[in-house]
A and B are shown apart, each in its own frame.
Chain A
Amino acid sequence: MKTVNEGIILRNELLTNNPAPIYDMYILAPKMFENAGPVRPGQFVMLYTGKGEMLLPRPISICEAFSDETVRLVYQVAGQGTEYFSSLEEDARIGINGPLGNGFAVEGQDSPPAENRVHFLIGGGIGVPPLLSLAKEIHLRGEKAVAVLGFRDEPILIEDFKEYCDAVHIATDSGKHGFRGNAVQLLNNILNEQAYLYACGPRPLLKSLCEWADERGLPLQISMEERMACGIGACVGCSVKIKSDYVAYKRVCADGPVFFGNEVVF
Chain B
Amino acid sequence: MNLRTNLAGVVLENPVMNASGTFSRESAEYTDVNKMGAVVTKGVSLEPWSGNPPPRIAETHGGMLNAVGLQNPGVEYFLREELPFWKKFHTKIIVNIVGKTPEEYMAVAERLRDADVDMLELNISCPNIKEGGIAIGTCAKQTERVTSAVKNAAKQPLIVKLSPNVTDIVEIAKAAEAGGADALSLINTLLGMRIDVKTRRPLLGNIFGGLSGPAIKPVALRMVYQVCGAVKIPVIGMGGVSNATDALEFLMAGASAVAVGSANFTNPRAIDSIIKELAAFCVDEVRGAARI
Contact = CB atoms under 8 A, between A and B. Distances in A.
Contacts of A249: 50-51, 54, 71
Please give me the 8 A-B residue pairs with the lowest Cβ-Cβ distance, nearest first.
A233-B26, A237-B57, A248-B50, A230-B265, A227-B57, A234-B24, A229-B265, A227-B55
A205 B264 CA distance: 34
B58 A230 contact: no
B88 interface: no
Most buried by A among B21, B30, B268: B268
Contacts of B268: 2-4, 97, 230, 232, 234
A5 to B, nearest CB: 11
Given A1-B31, A247-B50, A249-B51, A234 B26 contact: yes
Interface in B255-272: 262, 264-269, 272
A159 B210 CA distance: 46
Nearest to B24: A234
Interface stretch (B59-67, B100-108, B230-238): B59-67
A240 B55 CA distance: 9
B213 interface: yes
Interface of A: 1-4, 48, 52-57, 97, 226-230, 232-241, 246-249, 254
Given A229-B64, A247-B49, A234 B264 contact: yes
A238 B29 CA distance: 19
Which among B27, B62, B266 has the highest number of chain A CB atoms within 10 Å?
A: B266
B56 A247 contact: no
B214 A239 contact: no
A118 B292 CA distance: 80
A255 B164 CA distance: 33
B214 A247 contact: no
A254 B24 CA distance: 11
A56 B64 contact: yes
B203 to A, nearest CB: 8
Nearest to A55: B266
A55 B262 CA distance: 9
Main secondary structure of the interface of B (DSSP, over half): loop
A227 B26 CA distance: 18
Given A234-B22, A234-B24, A54 B59 contact: yes
Contacts of A3: 30, 268-269
Interface string B16-35: 00000111111101111000
B276 to A, nearest CB: 13
Nearest to B262: A55
Interface residues of B, number: 42
Contact of B57 (A233, A238, A241, A248): A238
Contacts, number: 117
Given A229-B57, A229-B265, A232-B268, 7 more contacts: A1-B32, A4-B269, A53-B61, A232-B29, A233-B27, A234-B26, A234-B265
A232 B73 contact: no
Nearest to A35: B29
Q: Is the interface of A mostly helix, strand, loop or mixed?
A: loop
Contacts of B54: 226-227, 238-241, 249
B24 A228 contact: no
A48 B263 CA distance: 13
B66 A1 contact: no
B51 A56 contact: no
B215 to A, nearest CB: 9
Contacts of B151: none
25 contacts: A2-B30, A2-B268, A3-B30, A3-B268, A4-B267, A4-B269, A52-B62, A52-B214, A56-B59, A56-B265, A57-B266, A97-B268, A229-B57, A230-B22, A233-B26, A234-B24, A235-B57, A236-B24, A237-B56, A237-B68, A238-B57, A239-B51, A239-B54, A248-B50, A249-B51
B42 interface: yes
A108 B48 CA distance: 35
Nearest to B269: A3
A122 to B, nearest CB: 23
Contacts of A97: 268
Given A55-B266, A249-B50, A226 B55 contact: yes
A246 B266 contact: no
B53 interface: yes
Contacts of B27: 232-234
A1 B276 CA distance: 15
Given A229-B57, A234-B27, A247 B48 contact: yes
A55 B57 contact: no
A229 B92 CA distance: 26
Given A55-B214, A239-B71, A2 B29 contact: yes
Contacts of B71: 236, 239, 247, 249
Given A236-B42, A241-B53, A246 B48 contact: yes
Given A2-B30, A234-B265, A249-B51, A55 B24 contact: no
A86 to B, nearest CB: 18
